[in-house]
Structure 1
Amino acid sequence: MGSNRQYTDEFRNEAVKQVIERGFTVIDVATRIGIPKHTLYEWVHKARKAAPAASDASARSDSAEVRRLKAELKRVTEERDIPKKSRRVLCQGVRAKYAFMRAHAREFRLVAMCRVLGMHRSGYYAWLRGPASVREREDQRLLGLIKHHWLASGGVYGYRKITVDLREAGESCSRHRVHRLMKAEGLCAQVGYGSKPRHRGGPVGVVANVLNREFSPEAPNKVWVTDITYIRTYEGWLFLAAVMDLYSRQIVGWATAPTMTSDLVLQALVAAVWRRKPGPGVLVHSDQGSQFTSSDWQSFLKAHRMEPSMSRRGNCHDNAVAESFFSALKKERIKRRIYPNRATAASDVFDYIEMFYNPIRRHGSAGDLSPVEFERRYAQSGN
């Protein structure tokens, strides 16, 4: 772990927060996360130098955020109150919705009512300007006949069979027109329970379970396991991908993102490779999620001469150690916190992994030593 490597902006910011906001000493933080102390001194100095400008920008940002939240509150309040007064017209036709919009024009904004009711302003204005056209009157008459035949069938007829009924009754209409009118009214064939999903083979990119629950390798950088979990915040979900070295149970790479994509797991694996710089042949075990069967994931493993391994379908025990880490994270930290936003949650994940779990937390599988200490003693033994 040389001092000339490139650190991510997220890693730098979280390391500086431990000194400036949480009160740890530079030497303590540098020792725990494994970086040179002079490097952390430089980061802290730059952060404190830029603090006044950052505070001004933060104040402007806070003011803009307040305005945004007020506008969002107004929008959400309208979207909450409009359905309360429009329950009777939500399932009715277009003209009934237009009539509701005209009756409540002084109470709600037109754009909000259009959004909630699924209407267009241009159609509403056209309806205000003149009476219903001949086509609209004919559609309403035909819709009444459609409802009659649909109810007579017990709700099991779709637009094709209802079209046949209408033609036998002497009506001249196409099945496309019947389909359009039924769709607008929410009428459809109500039959059966739906088909039972069948497993038709695994997704492309699935490989064998090479690990086979052998969770005790003889040295570091031989077997890594990875998985994804989620963290609840008031801003929305935050997804966490982590890579663990099975030898010491150390988290060697991790990444967070608001979406669960293949880029998330790749960032975690890149961080692990950047930190550990392993030789060829590392076994990387995961589940069969789409993120791990993607072509980008497979290409990365191939380019770095890593061997893939995957749990059997629906078998969480094949990746039990990664599941155990996420369980500890949630019991010891996440479920004891309330996160207002994703940034706060990501900062707390950094604090748990880099400041506590890796350098301090004792593991029974590592002789009641922390992962960092367990690997340090392995290196000292000359193995």
Structure 2
Amino acid sequence: MGTKVSYPEEVKLKAIKMRLAGVPVKEVMEELNIRNRTQLKTWMKWYRNGELHRLAQPVGKQYAFGKGPDYDSETARLRSENRYLKQQVEVFKKVRGIGKEVAPKVVIQLVEELRGNMTIGEICGHLGVSRSSYYRWKAQEKNETPKEVRDRQIGDLCKRHKFLYGYRKIAELYPGACEKTVQRVMQKHGWQCRVKVKKRKRTGQPAYVAPNLLARDFTASKPLEKLLTDITYLPFGQSMMYLSSILDVYNGEIVAQTIGFTQDTAFVLDTLHQLPDLPEGCVLHSDQGTVYTSYDYQKAVKEKRIIMSMSRKGTPADNSPIETFHSSLKSETFYLDGIHRTSNAHVIQIVEEYITYYNNIRIQTKLNSQSPVQYRQLAA
């Protein structure tokens, strides 16, 4: 008479799962080292009859049909079955999109999370994984594969730039992978660029103070050929603050900025006076705000031999590059970090640090994935 072989419950569950996935009987027997084909058929029969409790029965012990292990009472039997079902629910509700087989990292993570509520053998049994596989994966956990190294490095780039870059910019910074690969990795781990909230302003009837010479032509052949200026609110400090800035259309660089508490002509004049020597024919474009149409500002513009251009009333798209910069500044600092109220000094520090980052580090696709300063220096 042959020696009876005892198979662990997790092996039986794994065999059932493989057969349900369409794996041939021969392959199941070879992989799990099952000697008898009839044994596998018996397990499948128990599964179809809803008698999974019989998988735990000892070798040579055959329960009567419809009965499981001996229990002291019906209440004890119900409690045992309820515990088993709860364990299955607790395990599988934590598993998301793992495919036909459970990934080693998922198994290791689940065991760490659930081992306080059930044994390692029970967790592995519910997942259809042997305990030896778990311990082997656990021992190999520290050995990163090339793909894992790549994913980690892409993640580091995303974190370094506060998840403000899309997959195209990350691919530029990580030349070892193509855009599609970077996109797939970022989607897999939830590292996509955080979407900015789009804001709309009500439009009004056009009115001209100075002609719109720019006409939304946001291209320039050399630095300081076309400039854009605007004011934005900074409602994050102890009192309302304002940022006046001037942007060079050539490379998107902020060439002058002022932070103040009063939105008056002196405020924008301070920004204007920061400009270096300008080439002949330089155009400065603004909206039709009262500070820009004031006598003192127009006088200062003429003294610097600047040609003034103004947007039509109620059309921020005529000045969109600097509007976009102001939106990015708030979205990528105050809104992203959840800063709704702080000190005035902190607001100034955040704005100045961001402008330095924007000019010198933050790459732009339209500048061949270079920062504004890098683009200007290389062009020179």
User: What TM-score do you get using the length of structure 1 for normalisation?
Assistant: 0.44
More helix by share: 1
User: What TM-score do you get using the length of structure 2 for normalisation?
Assistant: 0.44
Higher Rg: 2
